[in-house]
Amino acid sequence: MSEALINRLVEFAESGNQQKISLNGQSHQGWIMEITEEALLISTGYADKSGKDVWIQFADLGQATLSYWDNKSDQWTEFKI
């Protein structure tokens, strides 16, 4: 995994109030909790009982749409990696 990609994913994780990853017809909305050499972990719940953690492999990110909630414009803003 390139350091440049990891740095962009860290920037994505720090963007906005929440992040959203849409992949294969599913959307995962929440917070990026961890970034490893092969994947990132997004926590999608507001509470332990209703949420789940989803690992998304970097290999799948090329097919995904990444966005973050922009508080200034009150809308989802696309993020390019």
Kindly state the tokens that stand for 67.
């966005």
pLDDT digits (tens, 9 = 90+) for 56-66: 999 999 999 99
Pairing of strands 65-70, 75-79: antiparallel
Stated pTM of the model: 0.87
Q: Tell me, what's the pLDDT at 57?
A: 95
For residue 15, give its domain range: 3-79
Q: Tell me, what's the pLDDT at 49?
A: 63
Q: Which residues of the chain have pLDDT under 70?
A: 1, 46-49
Residue 71's CATH number: 2.30.30
Kindly state the tokens that stand for 26.
């599913």
How many domains are there within the chain? 1
CA distances to 24, 38, 45 from 17, rounded to whole Å, are 24, 24, 14
Determine contact, residues 16/27, Cβ cutoff 8 Å: no
Q: Tell me, what's the pLDDT at 15?
A: 95
Q: Tell me, what's the pLDDT at 70?
A: 95
Determine contact, residues 24/72, Cβ cutoff 8 Å: no
Q: Tell me, what's the pLDDT at 47?
A: 58
H/E stretch holding 8:
helix 3-13
